[in-house]
Amino acid sequence: MKTALCSFCLKSGILCSKCQSKIKSGEVSETDLKIARILLSLEAANPTLQDVHFHKAVEADDILALIVGRGDMPTFFGQGRKVIKVLEEKVGKKIRILEECGDDRKFLEDLFAPLSIVTINTIWLPDGTTETRVILRKRGRNPPPIKVKAIKEIAKKVRDITLRVEFD
């Protein structure tokens, strides 16, 4: 797995001065470090993790979103979401996997999965700012299995998108 921290430091748990300064400056958070160490420990059992780029983790409420490289998603979802399940168990939060590149539509689809998006459009507000309206397909009468507020926070933090979420 490729991250901003060296794998030697991740393995040993003792950080070199370079890695220490990345934590100190905030370039890499304590959560990033924790996740990177877990991912590294899973490499032996999940060899494709060796090629994964882990950029950072973004938290909101009970959701922890991992920003990974383009094309890295299958590694997390393979074998019945094995890697995600281990992460969720160790971190105690719901894990979302988001690819760093890609357009906003893909980003939103991954963010809301497994719910499906009916429409996405842009709303222009009188003050010149925009909101992105996402209409989701409602499944029966049950309340949606997601925390909309946390999802909105993730979208803002990762892509600076202000979301308005509705159900059809």
Contacts with Zn ion by CB under 5 A: the residue count is 4
Selected from 1, 3, 9, 161, the binder of Zn ion by CB under 5 A is 9
Alpha helices in 13-103, H assignment, sequence order = 17-25, 30-41, 73-91
Q: Whole-angstrom Cα distance, residue 75 to residue 28? A: 23
Q: Please report how close the Cβ of residue 20 comes to Zn ion at its closest, in angstroms.
A: 8
27 binds Zn ion (CB under 5 A): no
- Give, as one character, the DSSP assignment of residue 35: H
Selected from 11, 12, 16, 47, the binder of Zn ion by CB under 5 A is 16
Q: Which is nearer to Zn ion, 34 or 81 (CB)?
A: 34
Selected from 1, 3, 10, 19, the binder of Zn ion by CB under 5 A is 19
Q: Please report how close the Cβ of residue 9 comes to Zn ion at its closest, in angstroms.
A: 3
CB under 5 A: which stretch of 13-21, 51-59, 86-94, 108-116 binds Zn ion? 13-21
6 binds Zn ion (CB under 5 A): yes
CB under 5 A: which stretch of 12-20, 35-43, 93-101, 125-133 binds Zn ion? 12-20
Q: Is the peptide bond before 145 cis (omega within 30 degrees of 0)?
A: no
Q: Which is nearer to Zn ion, 9 or 36 (CB)?
A: 9
What residues make contact with Zn ion under the rule CB under 5 A? 6, 9, 16, 19
